[in-house]
A and B are shown apart, each in its own frame.
Chain A
Amino acid sequence: MTDDTTSSVSPLLSRRNFLRAGVLGAAGTGVAMYASKQAPRAAAAAPTFVPTKTDEVHLVGTDGWVSMPTSAPPVDPYWPDSYAPNPYNMYVFGFRNVTGLSDAQVIAQRGLAQISAPILAFDEGSEVKISLTNLGLSQRPDLVDGHTMHWHGFNNAIPIFDGVPEMSASVPIGKTMIYYYRPHDAGTFMYHCHFEDVEHVQMGMNGLIYVRPKMNADGNRYVYNDARTKYDREFPLYLSEVQPESHWRDAHIQITDWASYDPGFSLFNGRAYPDTLEGTFDPMTVYPAGSQGERLRYQPRGSVITANAGETILLRIASLGYIRHTITLDGVPLHVVGADATQLIGADGHDNSYITNSVAVGPGESRDVLFTAPAPGTYKLYDRNFSNLSNDGGGGYGGMLTEIRVSAPGTLPAQAR
């Protein structure tokens, strides 16, 4: 809920933001920022890629292929999908960030979707222009589905930028629509395509949006405009599930009964364990054949959380799965300071944040969670709903499981923006 209605329309503020947008735009965004952050894999001490403030973003919506852990038991005929090109095994829809690419490069991304969607990060009060291009579906040329941008949780939204096809418009194949936002509220949001939502969201068109508070102008990092929400490092923990059967059905021109939802893989940032421990890759980079980079470049984000002991870590947890998850970090108290992009304070300022060992996250919900990095070592972060720790019903561990790797104080440099 927003009540700063007067400041939001100040022409001065608009102009300042406009100037700032120009400067940051020149500093490099989009694909370039991915390229600059490609760390070699398995670098436990390397800071995870952090999104840069971006005011103009160009997204495309298309289809593609990704790879779930190959150690999972096959479920014939649904997974691995016989249509999947090597080394992939599952059909998806997804977004890609093509900011700064040439038209020819943009068109070349047709059929190269990623999951989860690129993380978008903006500053409170900035002007945000998101161009969404529908590249169509390379595997399903018979489908003429539109795509939309739904900023999930945007306060006081107007329908044309809310992305619900029946309430406004959607983007047809070959066209581009510009969505405009001025976020007035800090917090962890999500975005997803709302066209035939049960299918397009499940197929992978979903991801995170960060809105950083104005108070960050003092040089520190806060979740909200409140000194109690200060942190040192932040990491996305984006939750979703995939149902291999419905992905196979989409690839093979079959109809899914979505009311019989029964997911097979549970994902952190678009990957299932043990792939969550792999590094962060770049969809635009060609990796050596047989490498993890080749297999995971369309699930580009790893989920290893790295910190120095004693630092305050922010987990931006959000879910666009269809079932509830309960995230725990063995033995480490978790301080929930925000929920659904709203700081946990009452209307009278009363502090309603709370300490817990398990953070419940339902469909479409987000939680801002702070914790103090414990003594150096490796800690497990996972879903306490253990049915989500299996890959497609197989034995051993899979799904929503990753690691927190804590170094001695002073080991890791400050997290880059």
Chain B
Amino acid sequence: MNLRRLLAGGLSLTVLTGALFAAAASPSSGATPIAGEGIMCEPGNGSYTMTAAAGRMTLPDGNTIYTWGYHTPTHDFQNTAPTLCVTVGTPVRVALTNNLTADTSLMFPGMPNVQADGVESAPLSDATGRVTSLAPIAPANGGTVTYTFTPNKPGTYLYESGTDVNTQIEMGLYGALIVRPAASATQAYDDPRTAFEPNREFLHVLSQVDPQIHSDVELGKPVDWSTYSPKYFLLNGRSAPDTVSPNDAAWLPYQPYGSMVHVRPQDPNGGDTLPALVRYINVMNTDAAFHPHGNTERVIAEDAAPLDSAGSGDSSYGSFLVDVGASRTVDAMFTWYDVEKYDPVSNPIPVALSPFQDIILKGTWYAMSPYLGLQQNLPAGITQFNQCGEYYHMAHNHALDKATNYGATFGGQMTLIRIDPLNGCPAK
């Protein structure tokens, strides 16, 4: 175990990042993968060496939180846990080492015939028959257990601790399990209508943090759930605006997953591209109402069950608020059409635009022009992240108290949707 940790620590993040992006680039894909964006599948092809460990996460307000997480040798520590992308019919093996000071375990809800060290993974009980864990454990301080299963249905799943579940999931022991159909890695399900644009697949894992619980666990004090009051609200283990930083950003070493959704407009002349796919997983103990600005999304599956009414018809639905119940998953398709095709010369916006003296510019993502693909400089003193006149929309939890960092606005479960000009965004 020490050797493994040593190896993990010795590996260069840069080298690994490059390897990951290379792995994500499917040779058959039509679209180019975008460095640092989109779902970041853990390398491993179904076989993973996972460690449960304690570490720390950083929040945009400067706070640092003691937290637990699963990681593989690609990271020293991480939250959210590695995203496991596997395929129907291909066996999966997860070897877990527990470096925590408490027993822990892994559950794979929705997976068939999960085995733990070769026997059925079933809840454990004490001598009186009371449940002690929902899955066979890796004992504290270095214990191990290996889980195996063969997925039989595609979809978006979560995996999480099965031990002391309320506390351990609050502490960070959760991750995404993506099961791809055997026929195609760019379809969400077997139905060809669930095809998505290659490399336009995004993950939103919603979780939250009550710093009091984390502090109590760190100090070995009893946890009091009756005063539970989460203050940080995370997307893929980060809180906005960190959510728009790229995957594996060097300044967020233990929170490797960004969540910005990045698309190009549908092209009515050149044939539409396929939609982007957004996979939502809610590991909070409350429902989430997630609001993508820019356009209504079409929900195509809930809890890895495609919405085809058992063959009787299409029961997918449009939604500008994506409801993700506690411990549930939702798959939704996102597209954006340049409906009005505004152009400063041939089709100007039909109302007078306020000069910059007459508006407040918090700036930053604004192109200083309302036209897609046109960029002007923001007034001096405002940092501009805009590259080429691309559009940015917000996507956030509409329980707006959860779109905050400890109550401060423009934070929490919030990310951006980036829409490039039709012909792409030239690199600067």
Residues of A within 8 A of B (CB): 1-3, 5-6, 8-9, 127, 129, 146, 152-153, 155-162, 164-172, 175-180, 182, 184, 194, 196-199, 201-202, 256-261, 320, 322-324, 339-342, 344, 346-352, 362-365
Contacts and interface: CB of A to CB of B under 8 A. Distances in A.
B315 A259 contact: no
Interface in B261-306: 268, 287, 289, 291, 293-296, 298
A339 B320 CA distance: 9
A14 to B, nearest CB: 9
A159 B409 contact: no
A267 B366 CA distance: 36
Contacts of A152: 291, 320
A-B pairs with lowest CB-CB distance, top 3? A346-B314, A350-B313, A342-B318
B225 interface: no
B321 A340 contact: yes
B345 interface: no
A153 B320 contact: yes
A182 B323 CA distance: 27
Contacts of A166: 362-366, 394, 410
B406 to A, nearest CB: 6
A155 B359 contact: no
A182 B349 CA distance: 11
Interface string B156-199: 00000000000000000000000000000000000001000000
B225 to A, nearest CB: 16
B394 A164 contact: yes
Interface stretch (B10-18, B49-57, B332-340): B332-340
A340 B193 CA distance: 22
Given A167-B392, A259-B406, A162 B294 contact: yes
Given A3-B337, A156-B339, A171-B359, A198 B350 contact: no
Contact of B317 (A184, A344, A348): A344
Contacts of A260: 229, 401, 407
B320 to A, nearest CB: 4
Given A165-B360, A168-B366, A347-B298, A258 B401 contact: yes
A279 B392 CA distance: 43
A5 B337 contact: yes
B108 to A, nearest CB: 28
Contacts of B319: 339-340, 342
A144 B73 CA distance: 50
Contact of A201 (B318, B340, B400, B410): B400
Given A9-B340, A157-B393, A172-B358, A350 B315 contact: yes
A310 to B, nearest CB: 30
A349 B316 CA distance: 10
B309 interface: yes
Contact of A169 (B317, B337, B359, B393): B359
B333 to A, nearest CB: 9
Interface of B: 193, 229-231, 268, 287, 289, 291, 293-296, 298, 307, 309, 312-321, 323, 335-342, 347, 349-354, 358-366, 370, 372, 391-394, 397-404, 406-410, 416
A347 B335 CA distance: 14
Contacts of A172: 358-360
B46 to A, nearest CB: 33
A196 to B, nearest CB: 5
Contacts of B416: 167
B360 A170 contact: yes
Q: Is the interface of B mostly helix, strand, loop or mixed?
A: loop
A176 B358 CA distance: 8
A8 B339 contact: yes
A259 B294 CA distance: 26
A156 B336 contact: yes
A350 B359 contact: no
B153 to A, nearest CB: 21
A196 B360 contact: no
Nearest to A1: B296
A7 to B, nearest CB: 10
A152 B394 CA distance: 12
Contacts of B399: 261, 322-323, 362-363
B404 A259 contact: yes
Contacts of B318: 1, 339-340, 342
A367 B286 CA distance: 21
B338 A156 contact: yes
18 contacts: A8-B339, A156-B338, A165-B360, A166-B363, A167-B391, A167-B394, A171-B360, A175-B359, A176-B354, A180-B350, A197-B403, A258-B407, A324-B287, A339-B317, A340-B296, A342-B296, A350-B315, A365-B398
A352 B316 CA distance: 8
A318 to B, nearest CB: 10
B340 A8 contact: yes
A362 B289 contact: yes
A198 B268 CA distance: 37
Listed residue (B296, B342, B358) with the most chain A CB atoms within 10 angstroms of its CB? B296
Contacts of B340: 8-9, 158, 182
Contacts of B321: 340, 362-365
A167 B342 CA distance: 18
Contacts of A2: 337, 339
Nearest to B397: A363
Given A1-B298, A164-B293, A158 B370 contact: yes
A159 B349 CA distance: 13
Which of A171, A179, A342 has the largest count of B CB atoms less than 10 A from its CB? A342
Contacts of B392: 159, 167
Contacts of A349: 313
A157 B337 CA distance: 9
B339 A175 contact: no
Nearest to A174: B358
Nearest to B400: A198
Contacts of B323: 362, 365
Contacts of B291: 152, 364
Contact of B335 (A1, A169, A184, A323): A1
Nearest to A153: B320
B255 to A, nearest CB: 19
Task: Point out which of B315, B320, B338, B391 has the most chain A C-beta atoms below 10 A from its C-beta.
Answer: B320
A155 B298 contact: no
Contact of B268 (A5, A201, A364): A5
Most buried by B among A6, A155, A182, A349: A155
Contacts of B317: 339, 342, 344, 346, 352
A57 to B, nearest CB: 13
A178 B309 CA distance: 44
A101 B41 CA distance: 58
Contacts of A324: 287, 289
